[in-house]
Amino acid sequence: MNDRRFRLLLAPLLLALAACGAAPKEAPPLEGARIGGPFTLTDENGRRFTDTQLAGKWRIMYFGYTFCPDVCPVDMANITAGLKAFEASDPARAAKVVPVFVTVDPARDTPAVLKQFVGNFHPRTVGLTGEAKTIESVQKAFAIYAARKEGSTPGAYLMDHSRQTYLIDGEGKPIALVPADEGSKPVADTLAKWVS
């Protein structure tokens, strides 16, 4: 059989296979982005915690601080409610997801303070702190901006920080931004779309 005839016979078969197959899966928006990387911090129980302890788990990486007057607690509540909604619809996939709260204010966010804070949210939430230099390097790896803004009295400062929330897969690769600032439903929808 010559090459031309073979291609003529093969073309309808390939079209039929393409028609009954699913459309190719959309590429993750953050695929290939240089976001994240290895880290060693301290968890809310005062124990050493590394990124390798999250191997195989999908992570919702959020950077904030416990003394935040409004934004951080609301975003964390949205993450929790969104994850719980995802658990209700797909418990097996949702069981792979771990919310991770990394402080941008290590001077005040000790393990004990973090433990009390993360205890208000999803039971799998991990709170992480560390030395200032170490936190700064993790912020840099995740493209997080944070700066101290002095208040009118000593110690009454706020932290100005970026608010992006990342969905990281079980291999530590960035997948998508989680719209924690938009409410629980967009969080749940993002998890349902990408967690495998």
Annotated binding site for Cu cation: 68, 72, 161
Residue set of the binding site: 68, 72, 161
Q: Are 103 and 65 in contact (CB under 8 A)?
A: yes
Residues 6+ apart with CB under 8 A from 196: 93, 169
Distance CA 144, CA 29 (A): 18
Cα–Cα distance, 74 to 162 (Å, whole number) = 15
Nearest to 40 by CA among 32, 48, 29, 28: 48
Structure letter (DSSP) for residue 121: S
Q: How many other β-carbons are positioned within 10 Å of the β-carbon of residue 5?
A: 9
